[in-house]
Chains A and B, each alone.
Chain A
Amino acid sequence: MAEALTLPVVPPLSRKDFVSDQEVRWCPGCGDYSILAQTQKVMPDFGFPKENIVFISGIGCSGRLPYYMNTYGFHSIHGRAPTLATGLKAARPDLMVWVITGDGDALSIGGNHVLHSMRRNVDIKLIMFNNRIYGLTKGQASPTSEMGKRTKSSPAGTIDQPVMPLSIALAAEATFVARSVDTHTEHLQATFESAGRHHGSAFVEVLQNCNIFNDGAWRAFTEREVRDDRMLFLAHGEPMIFGKDRDKGIRLRGLHPEVVTIGEDGVTVDDLLVHDEHAEDPYLAFMLSRLSYPEFPVPVGVFRSVDHPTHDKLMQAQIDEARAKSGEGDLEALLNDGETWVAS
């Protein structure tokens, strides 16, 4: 049914074309507002008519985002958004499909589906809002909550090691892996842009502030005054330099990354790791996915972006091949297939 998309000539859309008539209902001050705004802002850039864009979400505060997008939207059940997206994209390769999820939705109840949608390279853009807490259910520990965190469900502190979302995405063979921050609006837009233009499974972690149940979860390194010193803004082909004075960098010693200061102990820019988001092997991206504050600056940007055949294309190719080989299926012939006999 779904033909390859040919873009119709339409007047360019603007952000407001993507704003639905529904009243936004997140807590005032929630990081989700910014994520929504940046999402709406970048949508016109892809040149897709808005009827060909679908947002599918699971359960959690993030799950409401589709209601606010004036596109097609499906607010599904907890953890299962990637499964609906997989079926939709398989049936309708012409659509641009976004999955909106959270740390609990994607990594707890829906972990299996994230793993498999990524490894299949389903052409979906999965945006995971990571606030390290269950917000909608009012403040229980999530799979990304730090060890020992005291919450309503863990008054004595959690005893579970948190998962590293991007390490998981990379281990699951995601072909596009990136991270950004809710308040870094331009960086967030640029990250969504890159994800939207990627063909294949994109996993984007957005560090999001839940000001009601986990305020300041990322503040230690995302605040304007400290972020240059405590974050590493990845750029393809560039050495990994950070710091307000652009004098710090990441160097590899043996298999281990270390922070060095340019100019000290004879360290030069040439000693630093150079980012390669297109590297076919995932080692560099995986190493970056393990860096965390305060030992290291927290990397943001595109960790990995490689081009592999997508799930829907491979599926379509098998159908095309079968049709080329046996012709379009003939129902009459199919029903009469095999050993038959006639009773008179």
Chain B
Amino acid sequence: MSRRISYREALREGLREALLNDPRVLLMGEDVGRYGGTYAVSKGLLDEFGPDRIRDTPLSELAFVGAGIGAALGGLRPVVEVMTVNFSLLALDPIVNTAALYHHMSGGQFSVPLVIRMATGAGRQVAAQHSHSFEGWYAHIPGITILAPATVRDARYMLAPALSDPDPVLIFEHAALYNMEAELGDEEPVDIRSARLMRDGSDVALITYGGSLYKTLAAAEQLAMRGISAAVLDLRVLRPLDTGAIVALTRQCRRVVVVDEGWRSGSLAAEVMARIVEHAFYELDAPPARVCSEEVPVPYARHLEEAVLPQPEKIIAAVEALLGVSS
């Protein structure tokens, strides 16, 4: 039986299921318990599972992410919530220098089955220090898996495979999506290795992930009304990238626009384009294009924030330029 739930509720259901299924699972982070979660994801879980398993931490990103690593090594299956990607910078050392390296550097002796969740992204007028999109940065690092659930289904079901992965998995939840609702079937498990085609098309491939997915789908809808058939690929998994799906869609459409909320230089979009060029260069009818955030700190004022982020109009303009048509 299908029902309508929000991205936030989907995340909560995923967490609750994990906590019910495995006594080794615990959620820890700032204000996950008594406050109910910064984005209310964990609301109610403290009452059900108690303060040991829904564990409020001090403002110590470095220590509680590092402790998550130790707890994973010690036999637990921790889900560590970092309030937002912006504050994860204070925990870069344990993530990059410890979690990601442990298995390899120990000669394969130790694994770190840790899941770290955090909110990411801009679009809510919270200004420069609260609007970063660093998931592309994290996707640079071997040893960790990077997930970007953009759909209610992924929000609901990505946690289970993330928790059964023996190595660290980072989950980036776009803050603009928490209130989004969608229909969800009873049981729709997902994998954490492949991209998903959200809309088929033949004239242009739009490749995106996270919060930009809906802007991209909106652009595709408007393009369709003008007779342009755009396919939309949700990457879902930023590391390892599903190169096969990227290349296949490129071959199908022969033109590509990559949409990424990260800054343009050194972005995940740059990596996607590089793979397209490496694997499908001769099948392209035009150079691949991209729509990224403008290279400036994200401003507070609404009109300016909108102007620096990818928007449907910018995506449409990029497609038109690629196809040599004008509106």
Real complex partners, A and B?
A: no
Give the A-binding residues of B (Cβ under 8 A). Answer: none
Give the B-binding residues of A (Cβ under 8 A). Answer: none
